[in-house]
Structures are given as structure tokens and as C-alpha cells.
Amino acid sequence: MSRSTRRLYHVLEKAAWARTGTGNLAATAKIQEPPSSAVSVPSSKRIQDLSDGFKASQPAKWLHTSCKILLSDKMNSLAEGLNTEGASAPNDSKAESDTNADSSSSPPTARNPVSWLSFFLLLVTGAGLIFYYDLEKRQRIEAARRVVTEPKPGSAAGKAAIGGPFKLINHEGREITDKQFKGNWTLLYFGFTHCPDICPDELQKMVEAIDVIEKRDNLPITPVFISVDPERDSVEQIREYVKEFHPRLIGLTGSLDEIKQVARAYRVYYMKTEEEGLDYLVDHSIIMYLMDPKMEFVKFFGKNYDVNGLADGIITEIKNHKA
């Protein structure tokens, strides 16, 4: 008997000893495998039976047969475990198994549907709030712009009720009223000095347009900037601001009530947004008002005009007014 055969023999002998309490593998009886139709016998008992019939001259055959017995016993144990798990289900699970069989053909659904649903609802709610805020803001601005073209009761049909008397402080610290602008064509713009981009762009466009008009048609027009942020736009702040655009640009400011009055007279919409102390922006109408030498409203020009378009529009209105 070879060394490896002898080692496997001792292993099997220990296994038989652990199962049956005996390790007799030295008998010389002839090896007989039980027929397949025989009653299932534990592998340890079958190996012990083989030991009783073992012949010293047939170790290889005994080892081969013993290994087959152990492998067969392992497979049977596995099959019995699977059958036991299948039989442990309740008898009334047939309907449930049919339902599972039907649903097995459909794609699997995502786990934790409540979490995904909550996330989706949160997104929808946030988008709805943003849309509502933007819509409300646009409606306010459009309402303010529509008022610009509405005629004042009792005035001539088609003539807008824009303008009126005011008393403010210019960038030199002197009191000024609307009467001091009479006799000249005036172009008004409402904004604030802390405006990051729109106000500087519009003021630059305004002063360039009046230079074009003056050079082309020799028509002097007075540019005026009125602040809608009197809390921060002091006389000094206005003075430093207007001198960056044009030497003839007049800056006006005043008290909260005075600014509110002139804004109402010219149908100007303005409102603080994103307020954090003195760090805030002011949402306002982006409109220039052309006033005739009587300080009566002629036409307004929106943001969609460029320099040449603004200059051409003002010249056209002036010529039509003189005719």
C-alpha cells in the first residue's frame, strides 16, 4: 500500500470511528456495494460494513468505493436540505407563488420608493416656488410698464399720464425742481449707483445717444439720472457716480418720500431685493423717458434699444413734435 493510500485509509478510518465508535478496517471479507434500490444507510455505517469485508490485498478498490459512498451521502444531504426548505412553506402559498410567477416577467421595481417619491416631490415644489416668484415679479414689472401708456382721466386721448412736479437735490447739493428743466428736451432714467450692470449700461447708452443726436442734428438734450435708492445714494455718492459717464449728466436724489413721489408720478416700479443690511439690490423699471421743453411726456424707450436706435427714435419724436 502506498503512502498516500495509507494516509487516506487512516482518514476514512477516523471518520468511521467518529460515526460508529469503532475503527475496524482490518477485516478480510470481500467488498460488496449495496444495490441502488437499497434503503439509504449512513455513510459511516456503509464504510464500517466495507471495513468488515475488507481484504488487505484490495486497498485501492476499498478506497475508491468509500470515496464514492461519502460523495453520494453529501449529495443526498444537500438534496434533503433543499427539499426541507421547499416543504417549509405554508400550504396556502400557491396563490402567492402564482402571483410571483406572473410578476417575475415584469422588470424589477426600485427599492425604497418612498425616498425617491419624496425627493421628486421636493424638486417639484422647489421648481414651483421659483416659477411662482419669477411670474409674480414679471407681472409686477409688466403692470408698471402698462401703466406708462395709460391716459390720465380727463387728458387728451392717447396721451400718457406720466410726469409731474417734483423737488429733489442734485449732485452738487442744490435743491432743484421740474420747472428748472423746462425749455429743453430732457431724457430721464431711474436707477441706483450700486447697480452692478444694467444701470451703467443704460446710462452709457443714454449719454452716447445724446452725443450722436447733438452732432448729427445739433439738438441739445439734457440727460438726468434719478436715484431710487436714497438710503445709500447720498449727494456725494451721486456726484462721484455721474461724473464717470458725462459732464452734462445731472444726478438727483432726495428723501424716501420725495423719491416715492417722483417715482409714482413717472409710473416707475422699484423694490428692494435680497436685502441683508445695506447689502441689497433694487429691482426697478428699465425705461428712459423723453420729455418735451414743457416737461410733458413724449415717449419712453426700453432696454431693447441700442445707441443708434435710441438716437434715431429720439430724433424722430422731436421732429414729429415740432411739426
The CATH number of whichever domain residue 297 belongs to comes to 3.40.30.10
Binding residues: 195, 199, 284
Per-residue cell: 101: 410567477
Domain count along the chain: 2
- Residue 185 placed within a domain: yes
User: What is the C-alpha separation between 111 and 184, in angstroms, rounded?
Assistant: 75
Q: Which residues contact 14 (CB under 8 A, 6 or more apart)?
A: 23
Q: Is 242 exposed, middle or buried (0-12, 13-18, 19+ CB in 10 A)?
A: buried
The pLDDT of residue 117: 76
Q: Determine contact, residues 301/308, Cβ cutoff 8 Å.
A: no
Q: For residues 42 and 179, state if they share a domain.
A: no
The pLDDT of residue 22: 46
The pLDDT of residue 134: 74
Per-residue cell: 279: 447689502
Q: For residues 73 and 187, state if they share a domain.
A: no
SS3 196: coil
The pLDDT of residue 37: 42
The pLDDT of residue 148: 47
- Domain boundary, last residue among 87, 108, 141: 87
- Residue 318 placed within a domain: yes
Q: For residues 72 and 211, state if they share a domain.
A: no
- Residue 289 placed within a domain: yes
Q: Tell me which H or E stretch contains 18.
A: helix 3-20
Q: For residues 82 and 176, state if they share a domain.
A: no
Per-residue cell: 287: 425705461
- Residue 82 placed within a domain: yes
- Residue 134 placed within a domain: no
- Residue 151 half-sphere exposure, CB side, CA atoms within 13 Å? 7
User: What is the C-alpha separation between 160 and 299, in angstroms, rounded?
Assistant: 9
- Residue 34 placed within a domain: yes
- Domain boundary, last residue among 45, 63, 87: 87
Under DSSP, the state recorded for 110 is P
pTM of full prediction above 0.75: no
Q: Residues for the chain: how many in total?
A: 323
Q: For residues 173 and 82, state if they share a domain.
A: no
Which pLDDT tens digit goes with each residue over 241-268?
999 999 999 999 999 999 999 999 999 9
- Residue 147 placed within a domain: no
- Domain around 308: 167-322
Binding residues for Cu cation: 195, 199, 284
Which pLDDT tens digit goes with each residue over 53-109?
544 445 545 555 555 555 555 555 555 554 554 554 444 444 445 545 454 455 555
Residue ranges with strand state E in the chain: 167-170, 175-177, 185-191, 221-227, 250-253, 270-276, 279-284, 288-291, 297-301
- Domain boundary, last residue among 65, 87, 109: 87
Q: For residues 217 and 318, state if they share a domain.
A: yes
- Name which of 191, 196, 203, 156 is nearest 266 in CA terms: 191
Q: Determine contact, residues 223/322, Cβ cutoff 8 Å.
A: no
> How many of the other CB atoms lie within 10 Å of CB of 133?
10
Question: Residue-wise over 95-126: b if at least 16 C-beta within 10 A, else e?
Answer: eeeeeeeeeeeeeeeeeeeeeeeeeeeeeeee
pLDDT in single tens digits along all 323 residues of the chain: 555 555 555 555 555 555 444 444 444 334 444 444 444 445 455 545 545 454 444 554 555 555 555 555 555 555 555 455 455 444 444 444 554 545 445 555 555 555 777 777 778 888 887 887 777 767 766 665 555 444 444 344 456 689 999 999 999 999 999 999 999 999 999 999 999 999 999 999 999 999 999 999 898 999 999 999 999 999 999 999 999 999 999 999 999 999 999 999 999 999 988 666 678 899 999 999 999 999 999 999 999 999 999 999 999 999 898 76
- Residue 110 placed within a domain: no
